[in-house]
A and B are shown apart, each in its own frame.
Chain A
């Protein structure tokens, strides 16, 4: 039943002449305010155009036409009175973009028929600088290479899954004047930490047939450590819609970049030589892409390009935890994860002194999956025990910065003990009945050398200066000299004063005589009678010389007595003096007769003689 009705309608369309209808011709835009970076749609609708009508599209200087599509709609309707009416509507859609800001006019479109020319109204656009429309990420879809020229086979992707299934890239801008074929570079992020991976991709966007890409010039990547991620030898197209324009997109290069330092980086525009066309009608064009900027943030808490960034795991494998002396063991340090493996620096393994370590062998295995570089580094040590005992291989901690969590993380392997037992032949070597070869087995090597042990207790000392540099040292050294000079000076002064007065000199001599008498008393007590009497005699002589003002030594008793008489010394005093001298002579020449009492008497007489004359 339904089929029968459809067939009848088709017959009516063909058999019944269409009724004449008014020509419909108008033009509209999807929005009137746009940015210079925005695209908009201009739609020209032509309805019921007579045969031979030609549409004259507007050619505004201020706008660029990025693409043009045409669609046709036909409809049939029953009019009043039952007459059929055929309606044919052609719709032209132009994707356009303004070349400059301002109030810009799209001139009217025209429809030229045999009898008349129809014109639409002009449209005034309000164009501002920049972009008003929100970003609409493209939705690329892998397509079969239907309709593409030969020379582009499409093998399977050797790099596995497409990491950009939901395409994080910003929609590229169609460059002015290059709407059919352009080169675009992009980064998967606009900000990154030092050492964090940033993916640089370079694509060709084309609405033309491509024959080949001859050369690709990638920008210099100063400030980055870079590694090729994808570099397809054969191009593989995928659909992409840019600014509402459908393109075919070809991946040329993908590089994983690792910023080495913080700052704002500009990556220069890449370039490529592309041959378009098919077969022998090829044309070679040079296309330059777009520069890129990347803000590189410093790592929190410091770090540079050699700092490990990403996500890592450290592990350790020891082939055996108990071995015989001389039996080698393998120790593997394994670092694996995501990030720049080349910047990884494994912590130094502190090998105990009793183990001999050969140069380690390092193996790197780089991986790339899910749009992320990574890898596995294995450092293998061969350790040969040189001594028996238990050796602790200390734990190792590795720190890295995880840009996803924005935190420093760490992986740690615990300390492990390696037990070394004596070698079997070494143990039996002490026994009997073993061959000479057993004596050549590994021995427990006790080697001197290395750093001396620390002092376990301290005797603290304040920093000291040399004694001679202390401020008191020089006065202390010069002190005795100064004192001697002072005493000498005093003596000189006293001597000088004594010379000026004979009386004073006499008094001085008299005092000296009395001092001698005091010294004689000490000699008496010391049991030295001869010295005692000699001293008493010297004291008396000194006293008399001081009193008489002339030397008396060598005078006979008579001469002395005469001198004393001349000086007016009374007879009793002269006799007393003579008695003392006699006692002294007796004491000096017969010390055995000079007992303590006679010495005290002589001393008392001498003192009395001196005092009697004072």
Chain B
């Protein structure tokens, strides 16, 4: 990751000090009420590959100050995926309060695998899996070759390989959930949701900027979206931006 950051700094022609200065300039513009300027500077950092939860949080908050709920929720949600700080949740709560849609009805319970994937940090699980997996096989190898102390090596190999297999399964769950579960944010002020994918489809309901939805499948220029209360319909893909 460090190498990637260094590459981004090189490509974006920003030294770390320059990037930090640009970030501070954007903040100053925000506090002067020059939201457009602030937004442009944050976006410059993103374009240079200098993202992270801080830039995303500030950019989302700037959009929120401009009352642009679509991008506000998009960037704040992206920031939340990288960091679970309270201020992100607080500004997301403000965005939800301003958002025009109220999802009525009980939210459907999320499948176990999705909840499991949310509960486990992907990087920690992946690194732990590789470590235990390799150590387990090493212990097994020693166990096979060792004359003395074979019991210890054998036990260690068993425990490590079992842990590795479990963590490997968790990595698999992550991959499965990330592949299958696509979340997006509604960007236009109003988007029509139809009963079937097509311009002639009867409009079932409308959704508004800033609503987070789940993309179930795609067909042509339409995507089937699902709301947290399981309400579903087809809307145009170009009105959605994936998280």
Contact = CB atoms under 8 A, between A and B. Distances in A.
Contact of A460 (B16, B57, B65, B134): B16
A457 B49 contact: no
Interface string B41-53: 0000100011111
Given A464-B4, A467-B126, A467-B127, A479 B134 contact: yes
A460 B45 contact: yes
A458 B16 CA distance: 10
B174 interface: yes
A480 B134 contact: yes
Given A460-B45, A467-B122, A469-B175, A455 B129 contact: no
Interface stretch (B101-109, B135-143, B195-203, B204-212): B135-143
Interface stretch (B87-95, B181-189, B219-227): B87-95
B123 A460 contact: no
Contact of B5 (A394, A460, A484, A487): A460
B26 to A, nearest CB: 8
Given A450-B94, A452-B61, A466-B174, A457 B127 contact: no
Given A455-B58, A461-B51, A468 B45 contact: no
B175 A483 contact: no
A180 to B, nearest CB: 59
A476 interface: yes
Interface string B15-39: 0100110011001001101000000
- Interface of A, secondary structure class, is loop
A610 B61 CA distance: 82
A473 B123 CA distance: 12
B51 A460 contact: yes
Nearest to B14: A460
A460 B171 contact: no
A22 to B, nearest CB: 93
B91 A452 contact: yes
Contact of A462 (B31, B49, B140, B168): B49
B136 A480 contact: yes
B17 to A, nearest CB: 12
Contacts of B23: 457-458
A406 interface: no
A507 to B, nearest CB: 20
Q: Which of A459, A460, A463 has the most CB of B within 10 A?
A: A460
A454 B61 contact: yes
Interface string A503-521: 0000000000000000100
B30 A466 contact: no
Interface in A433-482: 450-464, 466-469, 473, 476-477, 479-481
A140 to B, nearest CB: 53
Given A350-B33, A451-B91, A481-B137, A464 B1 contact: yes
A467 B27 contact: no
B8 interface: yes
A451 B61 contact: yes
B7 interface: yes
A463 B33 contact: no
A454 B57 CA distance: 7
A424 B54 CA distance: 44
A477 B87 CA distance: 37
B119 interface: no
A462 B7 contact: yes
B175 A463 contact: no
A461 B129 CA distance: 24
A116 B163 CA distance: 139
Given A454-B61, A466-B174, A476 B49 contact: no
B133 interface: yes
Nearest to A464: B1
Band of interface residues on B = 35 or more
Contacts of A487: 141
A458 B58 CA distance: 10
Interface in B80-134: 82, 87, 90-91, 94, 122-123, 126-127, 129-130, 133-134
A467 B129 CA distance: 11
A458 B20 contact: yes
Contacts of B53: 459, 461
Nearest to B124: A467
Contacts of B69: none
A466 B5 contact: no
Interface string B157-169: 0000000000010
B49 A455 contact: no
B180 interface: no
A463 B122 contact: no
Given A462-B8, A484-B141, A457 B94 contact: no
B58 A461 contact: no
Contacts of A473: 126, 130
A523 to B, nearest CB: 9
A462 B1 contact: yes
A408 to B, nearest CB: 18
B137 A394 contact: no
A453 B90 CA distance: 10
A480 B134 CA distance: 6
Contact of B126 (A394, A450, A461, A468): A468
A480 B1 CA distance: 25
B30 A454 contact: yes
B55 interface: yes
Given A452-B91, A467-B126, A519-B147, A461 B82 contact: yes
Interface string A211-229: 0000000000000000000
A476 B130 contact: yes
A454 B27 contact: yes
Nearest to A476: B130
B137 A480 contact: yes
A467 B123 contact: yes
B141 A458 contact: no
Nearest to A466: B122
Nearest to B172: A468
Contacts of B127: 467
B16 A451 contact: no
A460 B140 contact: no
A558 B13 CA distance: 88
A528 to B, nearest CB: 10
A120 B32 CA distance: 90
A460 B90 contact: no
B193 interface: no
A110 to B, nearest CB: 79
B74 interface: no
B52 A468 contact: no
A468 B171 contact: yes
B203 to A, nearest CB: 29
Nearest to A522: B148
B175 A468 contact: yes
Nearest to B72: A451
Contact of A484 (B58, B126, B137): B137
Q: Which of A452, A453, A463, A477 has the most CB of B within 10 A?
A: A452
A123 to B, nearest CB: 72
A460 B133 contact: no
Contacts of B87: 452-453
B126 A460 contact: no
Given A468-B126, A468-B175, A461 B90 contact: no
16 contacts: A350-B33, A452-B87, A458-B50, A459-B54, A460-B16, A460-B19, A460-B55, A461-B52, A462-B8, A466-B174, A467-B123, A467-B126, A468-B174, A479-B134, A483-B141, A484-B141
| Nearest 3 interchain pairs by C-beta | A480-B137, A461-B52, A467-B126
Given A455-B54, A458-B50, 13 more contacts: A394-B33, A451-B61, A451-B91, A454-B27, A454-B30, A454-B31, A454-B57, A458-B55, A458-B58, A459-B54, A460-B8, A461-B52, A484-B140
